[in-house]
Homo-oligomer: A and B are copies of this chain.
């Protein structure tokens, strides 16, 4: 099913770019005007992981979501980021080494001819390998980071950006570049422990109603435990989630939020130390992602005395627009 958001002026002026945020689980298409503003957007659960690496499937998905746009504007430039450019995606856009800026990303995009005659430009991901450090990769987030710098130019000077999720990304920005980044498996660990571990067995079914104040208390208790006793190590503090429930020191209702706080607290503990080691302690901090999850991180950050982070939604459209201008695939009005 394609979700369609059409603004009234969607077709009033010639669009300047079709921007595709094409991740593992979904495809989001944005029709942008010559100022980079959204005229219409559509989304569908047609992510790269459903395509089995088949070019035909990608063509069909793009046609389903944006075929009419491509027919109406046969010279419309198209630019995409995300897993669509992975090794097992539509066409591989090999990782660019970090540090990198928008110019490096745009220059190393790969071009693919569509049947309708348009060129699809796929933005590469970033690869990071510091000496004596484990390697890391991102694909899609690099474009969100470019978008964040486009929206808030002060971030380009120096910033720390957190993109919470299944695999949370942390990035340090400076001089317009992504200088350094790493990934933490926080969201996936939470899901695994909630669904499959001995900890989940004590927890009542996940609530669908609005989180209450009690949940926030449980969440903050978990953050505080990570902050104050994190050196006990996660494997020990995880088992304590069980004993806190068994010993009735935490209501069973709060265990899920406590676990969430504990894991996010461990992420912040390690991530902020990495930020400080990178000299970004006093640089602005931004959160990019799903609003409810970013709120959770904001709350946890307060406990670490990091206040007033910049909260951003999905900045991929701005990033794709900025990269298209940089490369000259689209042109802003003179």
Contacts and interface: CB of A to CB of B under 8 A. Distances in A.
Interface of A: 127, 129, 133-137, 167-168, 182-186, 188-189, 192-193, 195-198, 225, 229, 231-240, 243-244, 246-247, 249, 263, 266-267, 269-271, 273-274
A66 to B, nearest CB: 29
B135 A266 contact: no
Given A135-B243, A136-B243, A244-B135, A238 B189 contact: yes
B196 A134 contact: no
Contact of A236 (B183, B232, B239): B183
Centre residue among A185, A267, A273 by max chain B CB count within 10 A? A185
Contact of A134 (B134, B188, B243): B243
B235 A184 contact: yes
Give the oligomeric copy count.
2
B234 A134 contact: no
3 closest A-B pairs (Cβ-Cβ)? A233-B270, A134-B240, A184-B235
A136 B247 CA distance: 9
> A interface, by DSSP: helix, strand, loop or mixed?
helix
A190 B55 CA distance: 36
Nearest to A234: B234
A266 B273 CA distance: 18
A270 B235 contact: yes
A236 B196 contact: no
Contacts of A186: 235
Nearest to A186: B235
Given A235-B270, A266-B234, A243 B137 contact: yes
A183 B270 CA distance: 22
Contact of A184 (B168, B225, B236): B236
A270 B231 contact: yes
A246 B87 CA distance: 10
Given A239-B136, A240-B136, A196 B192 contact: yes
30 contacts: A127-B247, A133-B229, A134-B229, A134-B243, A135-B243, A135-B247, A136-B239, A136-B240, A136-B243, A137-B243, A137-B247, A167-B198, A182-B236, A183-B236, A183-B239, A184-B233, A184-B239, A185-B197, A185-B236, A185-B238, A188-B197, A188-B198, A189-B238, A192-B193, A195-B196, A232-B274, A233-B270, A235-B267, A235-B270, A236-B270
